[in-house]
Amino acid sequence: MKTGLAGLAATLFLCAPGRMDARQRQFLDRYCSTCHNERLKTGGLSLAGVDLSRPEVKPELWEKVVRKVRTGVMPPPGAPQPPGVDRRAMLTAIEGALDSAAGKVNPGRTETLRRLSRTEYQNAIRDLLALDIDAGSLLPADESGHGYDNVNLGDLSATLLNRYISAGQKISRLAVGSTQSSLQSDTIGLPADLTQEDHLPGMPIGTRGGLSTTYTFAQDGEYEIQVLLMRDLAGVVSGLRDSRSHEMLVLLDREPVHSFTVSRAAIGDQVLNEKPLKVRIPVKAGPHNLAVTFVKEGSSLVETTKRPTESRFNDRRYPRTAPAVDQILLTGPYEAKGAGDTPSRRRLFVCRPAGEDKQEEEKCAAAILSTLMRRAYRRPVTKGDVDEMVPFYRKGRAERDFELGITRAVTAVLTNPKFLFRVESDPAEMPAGGVYRISDLELASRLSFFLWSSIPDDELLEAAAQGRLSQPGELERQTRRMLADRRSFNLATNFAGQWLRLRNLDAVQPSGNLFRDFDENLRRAFQQETELFFDSVLREDRSVLTFLKSDYTFLNQRLAKHYGISGVYGSRFRRVTLAQKSRRGGLLRHGSVLSVTSYATRTSPVLRGVLVLKNFLGAPPPAPPPDVPALDESTMAANLGMRERLAAHRSNPVCASCHRTIDPAGFALENYDAIGRWRELELEDQRVDASGAVPGDKEFHGVDGLEEALLRRPELFAATLTENLLTFALGRGVEYYDAPAVRKIVREAEKEGYRFSSLILGIVKSVPFQMRRAEAGPVAAKIGVK
């Protein structure tokens, strides 16, 4: 529909590529120069005397102009607006010129050295050693840049280095198993605000509450498990009433191995008189599912003088009616009987020494380490790599045995920069500013860290090592294969978690007074819904516009009840087709997104507006000025609706310049309260006013209106999502010189209805992904030598 007139206009102008004519000059004079002239220089910009004939010589300026005009931020509200036809014609002309800038390809420059992010480290260990570790307890969090935590990875503090060494030692011992020399002890805890009255997702049927986790047991042997129960502020075990008795089960791989009786008589409820809930069980080495949970005792309604709530964890307000698990302390192995047969040993030990003699052992050690290093370093192994590891192996061998030698060498691999850092270096003879295609091996890493946040698998690595990856069709084949692989769920967790700020869900602590029914169960449900939804669009290769408007979502009983959707029973998440007029569906209706853009006591149209403008529309508002005075909440009457509360945003001209754009985008979502429930009224008797607007479009009402407005210009959403994916894929912020590539991706994707794979493939085939710009390199250093 839009291609009609714009297409005509474009044909007229693109006949002479790069040439702009009087029409564009007129456009500027009429709609821009009133403010952006030499005298006023509004926003620091003057368009007087710019050379319109070749915008491509000033791409930084024109890309800014294009972004603002395309999203409709410029001309600002109140100023004369160009008719849609003219706006599109102008954009087509300028963009055409920028895109066709021949020979000025700028793929940008990723950092030469980037260490693995914490998530990437965890995934790499999983794929390298078949070992699930919790990197959160081993390594500090990464700082974010441009919204993603894989952008500022050029640092290495002493603290981090220490942690890498400790982590490497711990992981190698766990992977080999036999060299775990002493008792290990771990604590696994549950959040205090988890309601454990009913069945939790993933737990066996017939149980309530508790936790289930996969724990890697280092060796065959006996392990002591101690369970600590949730207590209230007085130190008394919560939920123990009268003489009621509860059965608490310990399950290993879903089989009950022990049962505790929990009642006042059995354990007492004072701190010191408690008999500890401890048991020792035999376990074989390797990863096992360990669960501690209660047998469910009937489902009768709880008598209560207050309105019954779903959440029950706060002993002052909504007390637990039954005991709950707080922590599990695991200690072991006692009576250790060796490392047994575990997935990590099978992955690591690709051979066993053929004989007792040192030479045989060293041959096998070399084979083991070469296999490991190829995967860890993400490239074929050299003799130098192996030679470097031999001293570590020999030292451990001399100290004890073959397996200790391997352990020490594995530690050395895991603490080597070749594993910890991704290096992209310019080719030897490249002049500064030169543009080159990155190597197949570098491309393989980019691909696997993009889609899986992990190391390339053997198939991808092989293709790259043989130089096949850059062959036509091979890259696309590998990309599709990797998208179909289960590991691409990473995009739903790691990418979407940052694009939609889901990582902040853990910090969402709604006021207990106002939001009685909020608990960890709901928090987890929010996250599940969005992750499963995102993954469904990816895996079913749907159009990304589904993110904006959808007729289905994923629910379990708790979430459905929260949303007011009937007919969903059980804790398992399942796809639910929504009714025609449903208030749920697209991302803007998800409890997750709506909660992370709210405060503890109220919604925030500002946070919501910023999310919509920045991460959906691609029209990020400028940063707030440095000395914004605090909102004086005390002078705000308690009975003011949200719009009145934020009135100062509109009346103060300094605030209004940004907030007249930000706030309306957020107001459209006002029908959803701070924890994502639908409401018609706020403050009990005032009707919610959900009229809103986004730049460049007419006013609309509510979330329906917002979605329709975004869908009217789907290319904007597609471009914004592409930019976010590209940032995540490259590990650097997207700059003005990437804009032609983004436009190309969006154009091609439009032909396929914006299917998810079209965006991914577009990115993978793009100039910024496949190429790199050189800097003043070793060439300068070498010139002296030559």
Partner 1 sequence: MFLTKKAISRRAMLKSAQGALALPLLEAMIPAATAWDKTPAKPVRRIGFVFIPMGCDQDRWTPPGHVTLGELSPILAPLDPVKEQVSVITNLRLPNAYPGTHDTSNSAFLSAASAKHTESSDYFSGITVDQIAAKEMGRETQVDSLQLAMDLNPLAGVCNNGYSCVYQNCLSWSSPTTPLPSEAHPRVVFERLFGEGGNAEERRAALRNRASLLDSFTAEIARVKQRVGAPDRARLDLYLESVRQVEREIERGEKAAADNKTPDLERPVGVPAAFADHAKVMFDLQILAFQADITRVISFQFTREQSNRTYPEIGVRDPHHPVSHHGNDPVKVAQIAKINTYHIKLYSEFLQRMKATPDGNGSLLDHTVYLYGSGMGNPSLHDHENLPILVAGGTATGLKGGRHIRYEKGTNLANLHLTLLERVGIQLDKFADSTGKVEDLFERVV
Please state, in angstroms and rounded to a whole number, the distance separating the CA atoms of residues 200 and 206: 10
Candidates 84-92, 418-426, 608-616, 753-761: pick the segment binding partner 1 (CB under 8 A): 418-426
Residue from 13, 223, 294, 392 touching partner 1 (CB under 8 A): that is 392
Residue from 202, 235, 431, 570 touching partner 1 (CB under 8 A): that is 235
* Shortest Å distance, C-beta 390 to partner 1: 12
Residue from 350, 351, 600, 681 touching partner 1 (CB under 8 A): that is 600
Give CA 403 to chain center in angstroms: 38
Under rule CB under 8 A, residue 154 binds partner 1? yes
* Shortest Å distance, C-beta 642 to partner 1: 19
Please state, in angstroms and rounded to a whole number, the distance separating the CA atoms of residues 137 and 132: 12
9, 96 Cβ separation under 8 angstroms: no
330, 312 Cβ separation under 8 angstroms: no
User: Residue 34 is which amino acid?
Assistant: T
Under rule CB under 8 A, residue 398 binds partner 1? no
Tell me the three state secondary structure of residue 334. strand
Under rule CB under 8 A, residue 168 binds partner 1? yes
Q: Which is nearer to partner 1, 416 or 597 (CB)?
A: 416
Under rule CB under 8 A, residue 514 binds partner 1? no
Token couple for 91 = 């954009």
Please state, in angstroms and rounded to a whole number, the distance separating the CA atoms of residues 716 and 710: 8
DSSP state of 755: B
* Shortest Å distance, C-beta 618 to partner 1: 26
Under rule CB under 8 A, residue 231 binds partner 1? yes
Under rule CB under 8 A, residue 780 binds partner 1? yes
Residues between 94 and 113 that touch partner 1 (CB under 8 A): 112-113
Please state, in angstroms and rounded to a whole number, the distance separating the CA atoms of residues 611 and 436: 36
563, 583 Cβ separation under 8 angstroms: yes
Q: Which of 491, 424, 485, 437 is nearest to 459 (CA)?
A: 485
Residue from 270, 359, 382, 639 touching partner 1 (CB under 8 A): that is 270
Under rule CB under 8 A, residue 221 binds partner 1? no
Under rule CB under 8 A, residue 425 binds partner 1? yes
Q: Which of 261, 250, 328 is nearest to 283 (CA)?
A: 250
Under rule CB under 8 A, residue 433 binds partner 1? no
* Shortest Å distance, C-beta 161 to partner 1: 5
391, 470 Cβ separation under 8 angstroms: no
Candidates 24-32, 256-264, 674-682, 776-784: pick the segment binding partner 1 (CB under 8 A): 776-784
Residue with tokens 């590529």: 17
* Shortest Å distance, C-beta 533 to partner 1: 28
364, 401 Cβ separation under 8 angstroms: no
* Shortest Å distance, C-beta 166 to partner 1: 9
Under rule CB under 8 A, residue 512 binds partner 1? yes
CA dihedral 54, 56, 60, 65 (to 10 degrees): 60
Residue with tokens 């990464």: 142
* Shortest Å distance, C-beta 168 to partner 1: 8
Candidates 267-275, 290-298, 541-549, 723-731: pick the segment binding partner 1 (CB under 8 A): 267-275
Under rule CB under 8 A, residue 403 binds partner 1? no
Q: List Cα–Cα distances, 585 to 546, 581, 707, in angstroms.
A: 9, 10, 11
Residue from 263, 416, 720, 724 touching partner 1 (CB under 8 A): that is 416
* Shortest Å distance, C-beta 507 to partner 1: 6
Sign of CA dihedral 166, 168, 170, 173: negative
Under rule CB under 8 A, residue 144 binds partner 1? no
The DSSP bridge partners found for residue 283 are 221
How many amino acids of this chain bind partner 1 (CB under 8 A)?
A: 64
372, 410 Cβ separation under 8 angstroms: yes
Under rule CB under 8 A, residue 622 binds partner 1? no
Pattern 556-595, binding to partner 1, x per CB under 8 A?
----------------------------------------
Q: Which is nearer to partner 1, 403 or 529 (CB)?
A: 403
Candidates 150-158, 604-612, 659-667, 736-744: pick the segment binding partner 1 (CB under 8 A): 150-158
Tell me the three state secondary structure of residue 272. coil
Q: Which is nearer to partner 1, 646 or 749 (CB)?
A: 646
Helix axes 402-414, 158-176, angle to 10 degrees: 150
DSSP state of 50: -
Pattern 479-508, binding to partner 1, x per CB under 8 A?
----------------------------x-
Q: Is the peptide bond before 695 cis (omega within 30 degrees of 0)?
A: no
The DSSP bridge partners found for residue 423 are 113
Under rule CB under 8 A, residue 653 binds partner 1? no
Under rule CB under 8 A, residue 778 binds partner 1? yes
Please state, in angstroms and rounded to a whole number, the distance separating the CA atoms of residues 306 and 243: 24
Indicate the helix (H) or strand (E) that contains 216.
Answer: strand 207-217
Residues between 27 and 66 that touch partner 1 (CB under 8 A): none
Under rule CB under 8 A, residue 326 binds partner 1? yes
**Diameter over CA atoms, the chain:** 92
Sign of CA dihedral 301, 304, 310, 314: negative
Residue from 46, 327, 686, 757 touching partner 1 (CB under 8 A): that is 327
Residue from 418, 437, 481, 645 touching partner 1 (CB under 8 A): that is 418
353, 360 Cβ separation under 8 angstroms: yes
Candidates 212-220, 326-334, 540-548, 587-595: pick the segment binding partner 1 (CB under 8 A): 326-334
Please state, in angstroms and rounded to a whole number, the distance separating the CA atoms of residues 659 and 680: 24
Residue 553 neighbours by CB under 8 Å, 6+ apart: 529, 533, 575, 576, 578, 584, 585, 590
Can you list the positions of beta strands (E) in 424-577?
435-437, 552-555, 574-577
Q: Which is nearer to partner 1, 698 or 786 (CB)?
A: 786
Please state, in angstroms and rounded to a whole number, the distance separating the CA atoms of residues 367 and 358: 14
Residues between 699 and 758 that touch partner 1 (CB under 8 A): none
Token couple for 648 = 């100062």
* Shortest Å distance, C-beta 274 to partner 1: 9
Q: Which is nearer to partner 1, 383 or 751 (CB)?
A: 383
Token couple for 173 = 């011992």
Q: Which is nearer to partner 1, 233 or 265 (CB)?
A: 233
Under rule CB under 8 A, residue 191 binds partner 1? yes
Please state, in angstroms and rounded to a whole number, the distance separating the CA atoms of residues 535 and 553: 11
Under rule CB under 8 A, residue 157 binds partner 1? yes
* Shortest Å distance, C-beta 225 to partner 1: 12
Under rule CB under 8 A, residue 298 binds partner 1? no
* Shortest Å distance, C-beta 358 to partner 1: 21
Candidates 39-47, 341-349, 445-453, 625-633: pick the segment binding partner 1 (CB under 8 A): 625-633
172, 407 Cβ separation under 8 angstroms: yes
Q: Which is nearer to partner 1, 389 or 544 (CB)?
A: 389
Residues between 360 and 389 that touch partner 1 (CB under 8 A): 388
Under rule CB under 8 A, residue 281 binds partner 1? no
* Shortest Å distance, C-beta 366 to partner 1: 17
Q: Could you tell me where the DSSP H helices lie in 564-652?
A: 591-596, 605-611, 642-645, 647-651
Contacts with partner 1 by CB under 8 A lie at 112-113, 140, 154-162, 165, 168, 181-183, 185, 187, 191-193, 228, 231, 233-236, 270-273, 276, 314, 326-327, 331, 388, 391-392, 408, 411-412, 415-418, 423, 425-426, 507, 509, 512, 600, 626, 628-630, 775-778, 780-781
